[in-house]
Amino acid sequence: MSEQTGKQLSKEEKDARFEAELLPVLDPLYNFAYRLTLDEDDANDLVQETYLKAYRFFDYFEQGTNAKAWLFRILKNSFINEFRKKSKQPAKVDYSEVEGYYNSDDVEGEGGVASTTDMRTESVQDLIGDEVASALNALPVDFRTVIILCDLEGFTYEEMAKILDIPIGTVRSRLHRARNSLKEKLEKYAKSMGYNS
Amino acid sequence: MESRFTETHQKLSDDGHESECDKIVKLLDLMIDGEASVEEQSYFNTHIEECVPCFESHQKQKLLKGLVCGHLKRVIVPESLALSIKARIQETV
């Protein structure tokens, strides 16, 4: 009886610690999952799975160390090991959907508001964001991953090496190739926006 | 001008030896990611003060990074997610 109470207390403590240390990473983690899977439901599943794994291995997690990198690493591994197999290669489908959407004339035609100055500034911002997202989503997942980790989440090369289980030299070369590839995709668009080389 | 930076430098590398500009290309990412050492930073900055193509490449690389971190929209976490994580953890012994 007393043993059970003790156990329950420690579980409560563990849960509280777990929530305090790891739940604040939920937002970046979900965004990472979404950028990997390109699907909100899949991202949801992947994040839940990551937290459950993290909970199982929480005893190995040293308090105060880099919780974000630790969770990102677990999520990346889950994605590779289980998720990727069952995923239906959504990248191309999603990209072409977005592409089709922006190529269709209906978008501008129906709204009619896009011509007012305020709307225009805002929609240009949105459009750039959408364009960057499409270009990024069209990259191979390994390239997409390093760009997200570095530019969106601000991980250092060393942290990225740990998350991805690759040497720092590989992080650097992969990032370099990923950026060249992204640059290529955005170059045409950038020129149309007036960013000439 | 249609000149593409990557292509320009591939040509330079064909000579067999590494030019100063080649070294700068390799430092571009380190510079924009804040990973360059003090020596690398000063080498880089001295070079781009005098070399217009490398200066422009640096600007472009910064712009590219800025596009991702400044314009890529973050997706909003569904409110139910944190709750269901907490619930599933509580179930776990």
CATH of the domain at A3: 1.10.1740.10
Whether residue B85 and residue A151 make contact (CB cut-off 8 A), yes or no, is no
Task: Give chain B's domain count.
Answer: 1
From A43, A133, A147, residue closest to B73, measured CB to CB: A133
Whether residue B29 and residue A156 make contact (CB cut-off 8 A), yes or no, is no
Residue A154: inside a domain: no
Residue A10: inside a domain: yes
To the nearest whole Å, the CA of B9 is away from the closest chain A CA by 13
Question: What pLDDT, on a 0 to 100 scale, did the predictor assign at position A187?
Answer: 81
Cβ-based neighbour number of residue B53 at 10 Å: 14
User: What would the DSSP string read from start to end of A57-98?
Assistant: TGGGSPTTS-HHHHHHHHHHHHIIIIIHHH---HHHHHHHHH
- Write down the number of H helices and E strands in chain A: 11, 0
Predicted confidence (pLDDT) per residue in A38-52, tens digit:
999 999 999 999 999
| B69 vs A94 pLDDT, higher one | B69
The count of C-alpha atoms lying within 13 angstroms of the C-alpha of A102, restricted to the half-sphere facing its C-beta, is: 16
Whether residue B3 and residue A197 make contact (CB cut-off 8 A), yes or no, is yes
- Cα three-residue angle A140-A145-A149, rounded to 5 degrees: 160
Nearest CA in chain A to B5: A197
| Chain B contact for A186 (CB, 8 A cutoff) | yes
Q: Which domain holds residue A64?
A: 1-88
Question: What pLDDT, on a 0 to 100 scale, did the predictor assign at position A104?
Answer: 38
Whether residue B68 and residue A136 make contact (CB cut-off 8 A), yes or no, is yes
Question: What pLDDT, on a 0 to 100 scale, did the predictor assign at position A121?
Answer: 66
Whether residue A129 and residue B71 make contact (CB cut-off 8 A), yes or no, is yes
Question: What pLDDT, on a 0 to 100 scale, did the predictor assign at position A176?
Answer: 94
Q: Which domain holds residue B32?
A: 5-91
Whether residue B69 and residue A152 make contact (CB cut-off 8 A), yes or no, is yes
| Chain A contact for B11 (CB, 8 A cutoff) | no
Structure tokens, A179: 């950026």
Residue A118: inside a domain: no
**Ranges under pLDDT 50 in chain A:** 1-8, 89-117, 197
Task: Give chain A's domain count.
Answer: 1
Element holding A16 (H helix, E strand): helix A2-22
Residue A13: inside a domain: yes
Residue A7: inside a domain: yes
To the nearest whole Å, the CA of A118 is away from the closest chain B CA by 18
Whether residue A47 and residue B74 make contact (CB cut-off 8 A), yes or no, is no
| Chain A contact for B52 (CB, 8 A cutoff) | no
| Chain A contact for B35 (CB, 8 A cutoff) | yes
Question: What pLDDT, on a 0 to 100 scale, did the predictor assign at position A13?
Answer: 87
Cα-based distances in Å from A138 to A76, A78, A91, B9: 19, 22, 6, 25
Give the pLDDT band (50/70/90) at residue B12: very low
The mean pLDDT value for B51-59 works out to 95
Q: Quote the ipTM score.
A: 0.79
Reference A33, options A125, A128, A153; nearest CA is A153
Predicted confidence (pLDDT) per residue in B21-53, tens digit:
999 999 999 999 999 999 999 999 999 999 999
Residues B83 and A169: their CA atoms lie apart, in Å, by 40
